[in-house]
Amino acid sequence: MLGLGTFTRVTRELREDLTAARDRDPAARGVGRLEILLTYGGVQALLSHRVAHALHEAGVPLAPRLLANVTRVGTGVEIHPAADIGRALFIDHGEGVVIGETAEIGRDVTLYQGVTLGGTGFARGKRHPSVGDDVVIGSGAKLLGPVAVGDRAKIGANSVVVHDVPANSTVVGNPGHPVRVDGKRPGGPDADWAHLPDPVADALRSLAARVNELEGIVADLTGKRPESGEVHPLRRSRGGDTAGG
Ligand SMILES: CC(C)(COP(=O)(O)OP(=O)(O)OC[C@H]1O[C@@H](n2cnc3c(N)ncnc32)[C@H](O)[C@@H]1OP(=O)(O)O)[C@@H](O)C(=O)NCCC(=O)NCCS
């Protein structure tokens, strides 16, 4: 139902969104709310979404989708009216941002231009990302499927995220992978793909050591040294220790 409560909530959301733009865009410092409202496409798209979402929740037919479409044409930002967006989102620049129907966004999130919170395939139900609080998503990043992004995560520009993102982490690349968790490089399995382990060389090395040992024992027992058959120890020709991470 549309009522005074909805009106008050939407007004509060609009005020917070304008403050978020002023706080998080260095170029907006000292710029008045009216100027931001008139000149920031990302902010206009969000304000329009607040209204479209309220209409959608009240069960109003057609109007929410119509409003979302007019906003897309005007700002280049497409937000489905059903998307659940928390307080103080800031969409910087805006153009090319797509936020899908079942996407959820927490508080104080920042999105740059070209971000997609999209689905994969034709599955129904929850199929778009859930983004935690205080998350920053860089320009051109694509988050696909019902992945969960933890609080205070940073997603690098142009990353393609198809797996959950831990809280307090920085994720970059395609596929997106953490390069920092709690400010440290993540440990875990060996990711040194350039210097792969060589099990055949390891086996030969171990065999050579056994042969050397046995030759020593035979020589001690018989007093005869082998004439040839010197076994050269295998050495790495290049590369570091594969045990590294
Ligand atoms: C991801 C991001 C938030 C990381 O910032 P940060 O916390 O300061 O982290 P760093 O710059 O120390 O980067 C950490 C590592 O990720 C790498 N990295 C950073 N951003 C990357 C990106 N977009 N793609 C690939 N690798 C990236 C860095 O080279 C560094 O690698 P290293 O571990 O080998 O040193 C930032 O680089 C980014 O992409 N921000 C988006 C900004 C944006 O979209 N601006 C648009 C303005 S219009």
Residue 7 buriedness (CB in 10 A; 0-12 / 13-18 / 19+)? exposed
Q: Find the mean pLDDT for residues 73-94.
A: 97
Share of the chain above pLDDT 70, in %: 88
Residue 232 has pLDDT above 70, yes or no: no
- The predicted pLDDT at position 245 comes to 35
Give φ, ψ of 91 to 5 degrees. -105, 105
How far apart are the C-alpha atoms of 85 and 190, rounded to whole Å?
38
Residue 135 and residue 106 in contact, taking contact as beta carbons nearer than 8 Å: yes
Q: For residue 180, how far is its CA from the centre of ligand 1 (angstroms)?
A: 10
- DSSP notation for 155-204: E-TT-EE-S-B-TTEEEETTTTEEEEETTB---SS---TTS---HHHHHH
Cα 115 to ligand 1 centroid, rounded to whole Å: 15
Residues with CB under 6 A from ligand 1: 93, 112, 136, 138-139, 154, 156-158, 170, 172-173, 179-180
**Lateral strand order in the sheet of 90-91:** 90-91, 110-111, 136-137, 154-155, 169-172, 177-181
pLDDT for position 226: 74
CA of 173 to the centre of ligand 1 (A): 10
Instruction: Determine the residue of 92, 159, 179 to mutate for testing ligand 1's pocket, defined as the one with the most ligand atoms within 8 A of the Cβ atom.
Output: 179
Q: Give the architecture (CATH level 2) of 4-195.
A: 3 Solenoid (2.160)
pLDDT above 70 for 234: no
| The token pair that represents 109 in the structure block | 């999130």
Minimum mean pLDDT among 46-55, 107-116, 179-188, 193-202: which range?
193-202
pLDDT in the model for residue 1: 65
Query: Residue 46: its pLDDT value, please?
Result: 96
Tell me, what's the pLDDT at 10?
A: 84
**What pTM was estimated for this model as a whole?**
0.79
Rounded average pLDDT over 56-83: 97
Task: Give the number of the atom of ligand 1 that is nearest the alpha carbon of residue 136.
Answer: 3
Residue of minimum CA distance from atom 36 in ligand 1: 156
Q: What pLDDT score does 196 carry?
A: 65
Q: Kindly report the number of other CB atoms within 10 A of residue 50's CB atom.
A: 20
